[in-house]
A and B are shown apart, each in its own frame.
Chain A
Amino acid sequence: MTELIIPAIVSCIIAFFTVYVSTPPLIKFLQKRNLAVKDMNKIDHIMVVRPGGPSIISGIIVSELVLYEFFHTNEILVIIITSFIAFVIGYVDDRKVMGGWFKPIALVIASIPIILLGTYDSNLSFPLFGTVQIPILYLGLIVFMIPITGNTINSIDVLNGVASGFMIIASFSLSIVLFILQNYEMVIISLPLGFVSLAFYKYHKIPSKIFPGDSGALTLGAMYGVIAIVGHVEIIAAVALLPAIINSFLFLSSMKQIVEHRQIKGKPVEHTEDFKLKATNDKTAPITLVRLILAAGPLSEKQVGYAIFKLAIFSGILAIITAFMMRMSI
């Protein structure tokens, strides 16, 4: 296990500083090209540049390539390829607004390398009850998993710092889970996701200097999904992601269709006079996690973000409990 410490430290430092150093020049570059959108939750007319995806993917690729030098495993290659395909899909959507179905369907392509490189185990493990072998069904699970994780993280990217902050909590929870399950190599392979998110959060937290955009959010979500598959912790990964899954579930169950958020006319949230966020009574607007948090009364953007982080910590704890339950059987 001691031989794993050096690659772990090196990759985490590289992951963090690649994003930390590359994001300020990216912000300047995007400002020069006027690639900015209005921050809707600020009282002043504040423009924020996007997308931050290029710095996120560079942090992931560089740190995982360093790990590949140490381990030479297909798992690392598949994480790099899948994350990069998700980044490209997101970047296309950043530059040209595509329909609601584009990202879920295109992200299926990102899951193909997992199947082609055979970096999965068709035994699906459940807490307390053991494993079930589902060779054909598992292929379907892979194909669905990447679009689901990618889009759930993208759908929670609604307030300053929420997507990156949420991903810090979820990914470190997943690393702890892998440690509990004694999958030490995967712990190290998974750590760069948390450090990349942590470095990006520095610029994404309220007040945001940059938004991750679809390219950033899909990259983070797809990497999370591929770690869940190659680390054989699919169920636990879903538990750690539950607040984001709830958000997508509430959205889909209220809208009854997959629709791009820009195409929705009804507003789930509006502003009070002091520019706090407040839930609307608009029946045409989707029900979202933010809307439910605000149902008790208006809150500032920062307070809503912290409420989401508390839910993420709660689900992270449930994921860790689930990991301990994996080691028990009834």
Chain B
Amino acid sequence: MKIGLYGFLFTMWVLIIVGGGILVKIVGPFSISGSGDFNLLFTSILKAIIAIIFVIIWILVLSKLKNWVFKKEIKS
């Protein structure tokens, strides 16, 4: 049980680092051009949407992982 909790914690940490890598290397350099003064605004909004989608995916992955790791313990 305790190993399950430590494993879950460690996996969350790994997901944070991997998610950060995706954000910095893929989402970070992304920019929109051709909208004049609104370029920065549109780029930020798009980055925000992508980041929110990533957070939702992160939560879904953790939910699945939680069910997988703790299934036996929760039922017991």
* A residues with CB within 8 A of B: 124, 126-137, 140, 235, 238-239, 242-243, 245-246, 249-250, 253, 287, 289, 292-293, 295-296, 307, 311, 314-315, 318, 322, 325
Contacts and interface: CB of A to CB of B under 8 A. Distances in A.
Contacts of B41: 136
Nearest to A318: B13
Interface in B1-22: 1-2, 4-6, 8-10, 12-13, 16-17, 20-21
B30 to A, nearest CB: 10
Given A129-B25, A246-B12, 11 more contacts: A129-B24, A131-B24, A134-B47, A137-B48, A137-B51, A249-B62, A292-B4, A292-B5, A293-B1, A315-B9, A315-B13
Q: 9 shortest A-B CB distances, which residue pairs?
A: A126-B20, A295-B73, A132-B28, A136-B44, A296-B1, A129-B24, A129-B21, A137-B48, A132-B24
Contacts of B23: 124, 126, 129, 132
For this complex, into which size category does the number of interface residues on chain B fall? 20 to 34
Contacts of A253: 59, 63, 66
15 contacts: A126-B24, A128-B17, A129-B20, A129-B24, A134-B51, A243-B9, A246-B5, A246-B8, A253-B59, A292-B5, A293-B5, A311-B5, A311-B9, A318-B9, A322-B13
Given A132-B23, A134-B44, A140-B48, A246 B2 contact: no
Interface of B: 1-2, 4-6, 8-10, 12-13, 16-17, 20-21, 23-25, 27-28, 40-41, 44-45, 47-48, 51, 59, 62-63, 66, 70, 73-74, 76
Contacts of B5: 246, 289, 292-293, 311
Contacts of B17: 126-128, 322, 325
- Secondary structure at the A interface, as helix, strand, loop or mixed, is helix
A79 B2 CA distance: 36
B69 to A, nearest CB: 9
